[in-house]
C-alpha cells in the first residue's frame, strides 16, 4: 500500500519470495510535495528528500530496514544530491534509528499545525451526514483548523441538515426541481449558492449529484470521500490490495455493492481531489477494508463509516499542511 509521497518519487522495495507480499519499502526523491515545513528546502538543488520508509511488523528487527535505507540514500547520491532530508520524524526511536544507521541529525523543528491559521469550508451532502458529524467533532476538538461556514444539501429531508442545526452551522437545501428547471439551470443555481459562502475548500461528503465542469473549474480546492480503495494513479482501473491481489477500481455511486458483488475481498475509503471525471482526482488519503464473508450490510456499513471518518480527517489534515 504505497503512500502518495512514495508515488511522487522513486522507491526500493522488498517482497517475500514465496508469496510476493510486500515486506518493506524506502522511497526517495519525491517531487512537488507542498507541505509547509518544506518551504525552506524546496529551492535547494543539492538536497533530496528521503522517505517515506516502512517495514512489515515481523521483519523490523532484521537487516532489511538497513538495506532499504542505504539503497535509497545511494539512489539519491546517484541522482546528484549531496544531502538527504528526512522531512518529518515525530518518533524519538525512529529519530535515533536514523542517527545510528545514516548519521542523520536534526536540522529544524516545527509544528504540524499553524496557530491562528484557519480555512473556510463549505460542505455538500445528500444523506445521513455521518462523515459531516465526524468533521464537526474534529473541528470542535481542535483537530482541524477549519471554519464550517455552510452545509448545502440537495434534498430537503437529509439528516445532515439537522446535524448542522445542532452544531450551529448555517445550512440550506438547494434541490433540483426537475419538472421546473433544466439541469443547466440547477447547476448554475448550485454554483451561485456555494460561491456566496466564499470557501477555501469545498467538501463533498456523501454528495450524490455529478457536478458541472463550470463548478469544478470555479472551486479547484474541492475534495470528495468515496467508499472504495482508489489507486494512486487516477487513470488506473485496477488497484493492489494489501494481500497483493489486484482488484478492479470501483467508482461511481454503487461502489460498495459492486465490491461485494465482485467477491474481491476488499473495500476501502478514499479522499480525492475532484475533477470532471468521476472519482478520478488526485488521491489525498486512503485505507483498505477487508470484506468478511457473509457479513450483513449493516455491519459492513458501520465498519466502513468508521474508516471513512479516519480517512477524511487524515486527508483534511494533509490539505491544511499543504496550504501556502
Q: Which three cell numbers stand for residue 42?
A: 524546496
Cell numbers for 21, please give them.
507480499
Burial of 220 (0-12, 13-18, 19+ CB in 10 A): exposed
H-helix or E-strand spanning residue 15: strand 10-15
- The active-site residue out of 226, 254, 272, 309 is 226
Q: Is 244 left (phi over 0), alpha (psi -120 to 50) or beta?
A: left
Name the phi and psi angles at 275, rounded to 5: -125, -170
Which grid cell is 180?
421546473
Do residues 188 and 109 touch, judged by C-beta distance below 8 A? Answer: no
Instruction: Compute CA distances 179 → 91, 172, 176, 191, whole Å.
Output: 59, 21, 9, 20
Concatenating the DSSP letter of every residue in 138-172 gives HHHTTSS-EEEEEEEESSTT-HHHHHHHHHT--EE
- Contact yes or no for 191/222 (Cβ under 8 A): no
**CB-based contact 50:72 (threshold 8 Å):** yes
Helix, coil or strand: residue 228: coil
The DSSP element (H or E) to which 71 belongs, if any, is helix 64-78
| Annotated catalytic residue 226 | yes
Backbone dihedral angles phi then psi of residue 12, each to the nearest 5 degrees: -100, 145
Give CA–CA dist 172/94, Å, rounded.
48
Catalytic residues: 226
Amino acid at each position: 500500500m504505497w503512500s502518495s509521497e512514495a508515488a511522487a518519487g522513486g522507491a526500493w522495495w522488498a517482497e517475500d519470495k514465496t508469496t510476493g507480499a510486500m515486506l518493506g519499502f524506502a522511497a526517495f526523491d519525491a517531487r512537488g510535495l507542498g507541505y509547509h515545513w518544506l518551504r525552506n528546502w524546496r529551492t535547494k538543488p543539492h538536497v533530496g528528500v528521503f522517505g517515506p520508509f516502512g517495514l512489515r511488523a515481523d521483519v523490523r528487527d532484521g537487516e532489511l530496514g538497513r538495506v532499504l535505507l542505504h539503497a535509497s540514500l545511494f539512489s539519491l547520491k546517484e541522482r546528484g544530491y549531496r544531502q538527504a532530508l528526512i522531512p518529518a520524524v515525530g518518533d524519538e526511536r525512529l529519530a535515533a534509528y536514523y542517527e545510528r544507521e545514516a548519521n542523520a541529525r536534526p536540522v529544524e523543528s516545527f509544528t504540524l499545525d499553524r496557530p491562528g491559521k484557519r480555512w473556510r469550508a463549505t460542505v455538500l451532502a445528500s444523506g445521513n451526514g455521518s462523515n459531516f458529524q465526524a468533521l464537526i467533532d474534529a473541528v470542535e476538538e481542535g483537530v482541524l483548523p477549519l471554519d464550517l461556514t455552510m452545509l448545502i444539501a440537495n434534498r430537503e429531508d437529509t439528516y445532515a441538515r439537522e446535524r448542522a442545526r445542532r452544531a450551529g452551522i448555517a445550512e440550506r437545501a438547494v434541490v433540483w426541481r426537475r419538472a421546473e428547471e433544466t439541469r443547466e439551470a440547477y447547476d448554475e443555481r448550485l454554483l451561485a449558492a456555494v460561491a456566496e459562502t466564499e470557501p477555501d475548500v469545498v467538501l463533498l461528503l456523501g454528495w450524490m449529484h455529478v457536478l458541472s465542469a463550470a463548478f469544478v473549474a470555479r472551486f479547484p480546492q474541492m475534495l470528495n470521500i468515496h467508499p472504495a480503495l482508489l489507486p494512486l494513479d487516477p487513470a488506473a482501473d485496477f488497484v493492489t490490495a494489501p494481500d497483493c491481489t489486484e482488484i478492479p477500481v470501483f467508482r461511481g455511486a454503487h461502489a460498495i455493492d459492486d465490491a461485494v458483488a465482485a467477491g474481491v475481498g476488499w473495500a476501502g475509503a478514499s479522499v480525492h481531489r475532484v475533477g470532471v471525471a468521476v472519482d478520478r482526482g488526485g488521491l489525498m488519503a486512503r485505507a483498505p477494508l477487508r470484506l468478511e464473508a457473509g457479513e450483513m450490510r449493516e455491519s459492513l456499513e458501520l465498519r466502513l463509516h468508521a474508516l471513512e471518518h479516519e480517512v477524511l480527517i487524515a486527508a483534511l489534515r494533509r490539505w491544511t499542511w499543504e496550504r501556502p
